[in-house]
Amino acid sequence: MTLSPAALLGAVLLDLVLGDPRWLPHPVVLIGRLITRVETVLRKITANERVAGIILLLITVGVSTGGVSLLLWLAGLVHPWLAQITGMLVGYTCLAARSLHAESARVSEALGRGDLAAARASLAMIVGRDTEHLETPDIWRGAVETVAENSSDGVIAPLLFLMVGGPVAAIAYKAVNTLDSMVGYKNERYLHFGWASARFDDLCNWLPARVTGVLMVIVAPLIGLSAGGAWRIMLRDGRNHSSPNSGIPEAAAAGALRVRLGGSNRYFGQEVVKPTIGEPLHPLDAKAWQGAVRLMYGAEGALVVVWLLTAVACRGAS
């Protein structure tokens, strides 16, 4: 089932207005619990971690999509409009623009009042790196990087899946993305067990990451940023990342903002030096973070406009 233009626009607006209220049960939380329980069982019944990881991927995506498909089918039995409304609500929970803005804003607010400890703690909620000893410039860098990267996998990617395949495709993407965030680590515990989830997440994000980068280039001049810089740095530094996808939106954002991202981080106490992305023409500060947030919203808005215009044109042609 695909969403009507009105239902899809409703899902986007609900995310922008409501975000992720803590009182609302979120599908990602349920998916996370499923992953934890299935992982525990699989580790007990098989020693082949790669096979277990593939089974985990299949079960998680299968249960997630099956549950949503059943929900939509039952709603459709009552009335087609109820199915659309249900699909709109499912789609809304797959989007994270308002949440990403709000979570990163806590970092900005803490830095604005000079509370370095609170800024470090808030940043630790949205990044995987160690934050205990970060100073102000690196905290700003972390905030800008996470907004830029998650503009793809938290906003544009689920929105693309929602547009093309409806709520079932969107929830499938969220299941894969949640798997990657929970088991897709290259450490002793998950190197083999999480291999299938990490690789499939890379596959699902390949196109959305590049669409995000192009959208950032398009909207950059509309919000006072550099389109030429975004395009040039995306092409030059988009591969300067351990992920085949994350570097694309980060590079586009770095070029648009004229800042340098990447460099040294610490993970679980170990220093990891990554290639740099962009050029330090402007400082990493509140203005850079605000620009990254505008790029995220601008990219989402541009995608919605293109989709709505395409939908209207297709209906007119038919």
Task: Using 70 as the pLDDT threshold, list the residues of the chain that sit under it.
Answer: 317-318
Give residue 318's pLDDT: 63
Give residue 187's pLDDT: 85
Give residue 22's pLDDT: 74
Give residue 314's pLDDT: 80
Residue 94 carries which side chain, given as an amino acid letter? C
Give residue 272's pLDDT: 87
Q: What is the pTM of this model?
A: 0.95
